[in-house]
Structure 1
């Protein structure tokens, strides 16, 4: 015997999450993968500048200081506009702002390809950096909101998201290097800009919109999370959560400083061991490959063994491995570099995954985006400032002394991480 289903029975058979306006597994997956594509593109846009610097030096007759300024223009605009990107998302929606920012970044590189002067190139890089400022806070915020307050799944998803950025850092610079072998660098930039326009259109048309706010997914686990927040006094609006976020922010800034300090001095350390230029290039590739694996692996690890334990392990191992690379002969040092890359980059995955837990709520429901914007402003800003500080230190105490200072900076994270433990939701990893 069969009966025709009534509209009400059909409605009741739909997933409860869809009826309640919560993201479905399919929409969560789409948010994650579109965010990963955006992350890969924008991080690739950021790092392909290194490939272009020698060409700009030859064409415009620039000094090394001027080349550093070009890189600083892009990174500076990207860092300074993270918070305004969050404010725009409150008004126009995260998907619209992310797609528009991606288009703006692509237009900036197209303008760089059309520029005939150094001033035009600087303006084009500032335009592209402004567009890229939207990606980190909005894409990471979208991923965290799609997975709600389920800490394990959110950290896993953010680990995948962070891993995608490293793929972009490897892919786009390599693509530009290949393109300039067959065409002028200006034409190569137009090809890469066209790719950005395609990604922007895909984001605008097919990326799902997730309602603002730190709304947890339905189910027993999220109910327990809410109860823990209430009983532990770590609600997102409380002073305790704000203190926890400040500690997390400080850890992120110092972690970035360690990474930038080591990368600045690593070529000089290897040169002193007798490494040639090709060997140094290979060594940096080993670090970056390890870093890509570290972001993914430590995001997975942090969801299982805990945020604090993972941070303490990665920072401690970072300090030990930095000293080991300093003291070892060339070949053993090269063997250690992939593992050092895992530790250098791995911490960031668990830090980013903890931002939603400590994000302050506000009446707009965009607390997560604001928290990510502030966090990325600090880490990207540290990435710009730390090499300058370590550089001055290296001038006074030498390369090995400054590298040792980077290792000690990693250990300085220990008391901050231990203090952060009290501000995390009890029972969460």
Structure 2
């Protein structure tokens, strides 16, 4: 059976045999992927709205940064509580309510008239979105068990689709209607999808026998293994966000035009989406450690190549660089269930996502200060060095994995 197959001869997630197993697993996967696309789209939709809010409310750049920080901070800090709520009320109910809150937060932003009102609305939306990463990825992990690595890479890839679609949609909508009406429109989509989750997401099991056996086999060292995986995830995110911070300035030193800068970033993002999809499959085929070595080593080499090559060959390498930058994440997410007990899957994903989100927020600041001291080229080289720092950690992780 192929890795990305969504059928299985084993027990249905809701208790039935045969074909219902395939249908239920497929439903969990695609609803989780759609939730990921919607919530990630809501998260990045704000970038398209910040200029509108700046004009509407006369906000400073500092105030705009506060808006972004309120959303991201609320989403990051509430992921662990979201996992606890899911254990009490169930994944389906918690994810559905979270999706409603994420949608209603933007609806509230559409009726707000002050910076405080926007902050409250975005805190509501960010709090709702805090449910998605731990619960949806945990659901996919539970229903696929040992075969979850491939489906988790599909889930990971789906977030990039939302990041592309919703910001583009809101940008189009605000050209044909008032921005407040546009927010209400995308909020209605979220409320409708929350109803779909409540009605059609199957009950998620707390773990099958094979997963419980695997948990017992790795109970003694899973905590240290997860700590290593967590550290790798934090560093991998730091490399990605740090490089993206400096890439436009690096290309500017090569003479790129302003219009071509957007094209260059699009090439990186396209390659990144492909890398997320492919590397989950690659991790299952050649092993976690081999894939991490390939992606992190490739990232370091390609960063150095982009620094020193002329503009045209550097542009050619950008999609491959994007694939290396983002590819590691699919392998890491697929490894989380392997290094945690079955009953703590959602908590493990919540911890992991909280760490990577925090790294994504803080690393550009750290690299930015470094860039002030040693320049764009020096700070970009530092991102390559960070990628190489992952390699000894990956070797240390090897003994904790079932397969390498």
- What TM-score do the two structures reach when normalised by structure 1? 0.89
Q: Which ranges of structure 1 fall in alignment gaps of 5 or more residues? A: 1-14
State whether residues 76 and 384 of structure 1, in contact with CA within 8 Å, keep that contact through their aligned partners in structure 2.
Answer: no
Cα deviations by residue, 1:118-171 (Å, 9 ceiling, x for unpaired): 1101111111000000000000000000011x2xx3110001000100010111
Mark the structure with the bigger radius of gyration.
Answer: 1
Residue 5 of structure 2 corresponds to which residue in structure 1? none
From 157, 165, 186, give the equivalent of 1:163: 157
The one of 350, 357, 363 equivalent to 1:386 is: 363
Mapped partners of 1:212, 1:52: distance in 2 = 40
Q: For the residues of structure 1 that align with 2:287 and 2:171, how far apart are their CA atoms?
A: 40
Q: How far apart are residue 66 of structure 1 and its match?
A: 2.1
State which of 166, 172, 182 in structure 1 corresponds to 2:176.
182
Indicate the larger mover: 271-280 or 30-39: 271-280
Aligned CA-pair RMSD: 1.7
What corresponds to 1:203 in structure 2? 197
Answering whether residue 206 of structure 2 is matched by residue 212 of structure 1, we say yes
Q: Is the 8 A contact 2:13 2:21 kept in 1?
A: no
CA contact (8 A) 2:13 2:203 kept: no
Partner of 1:267: 248
Q: Is the 8 A contact 2:12 2:22 kept in 1?
A: no
Matches within 5 A, 1:370-409: 370-409=347-386
Structure-2 change in CA distance of 1:103 and 1:329 (3 Å): same
Structure 2 residue 301 is the aligned partner of structure 1 residue 333: no
Judge which range, 311-320 or 387-396, deviates more: 387-396
Counterpart position of 2:23: 26
**Cα distance in structure 2, aligned partners of 1:204 and 1:304:** 35
Report the equivalent of 1:346: 327
| Preserved contact between residue 242 and residue 360 of structure 1 (Cα < 8 Å) | no
Once the two structures are superposed, the pairs formed by residues 5-404 of structure 1 within 5 Å of their partners are: 17-18=11-12, 21=15, 24-148=21-145, 150=146, 153-213=147-207, 215-216=208-209, 226=213, 234-235=217-218, 237-238=219-220, 240-361=221-342, 365=343, 367-404=344-381
How many residues were matched structurally?
393
User: Which 4+ runs in 1 deviate beyond 4 A?
Assistant: none
Give yes or no for contact 1:291–1:343 (8 Å, CA) kept in 2.
yes
Give CA deviations for 1:358-406 in whole Å, capped at 9, x if unaligned: 0135xxx3x1001001111101111111111111111111111111111
Cα distance in structure 2, aligned partners of 1:21 and 1:208:
10
The separation in 2 between residues aligned to 1:72 and 1:79, in whole angstroms, is 10
The superposition leaves residues 50-93 of structure 1 with CA deviations (integer Å, 9 ceiling, x where unpaired) of 11111111122222222222111111111111100001001100
- Answer yes or no: is the 8 Å Cα contact 1:105–1:132 preserved in 2: yes
Distance 1:356 1:93 in 2: 19
Q: Does 1:411 align with 2:388?
A: yes
Mapped to 2, the partners of 1:19 and 1:394 lie a distance apart of 51
Stretch moving more, 85-94 or 48-57: 48-57
How many angstroms apart in 2 are the aligned matches of 1:328 and 1:52?
36
Is the contact made by 1:86 and 1:373 (CA closer than 8 Å) also made in structure 2?
Answer: yes
SS at match of 1:147: helix
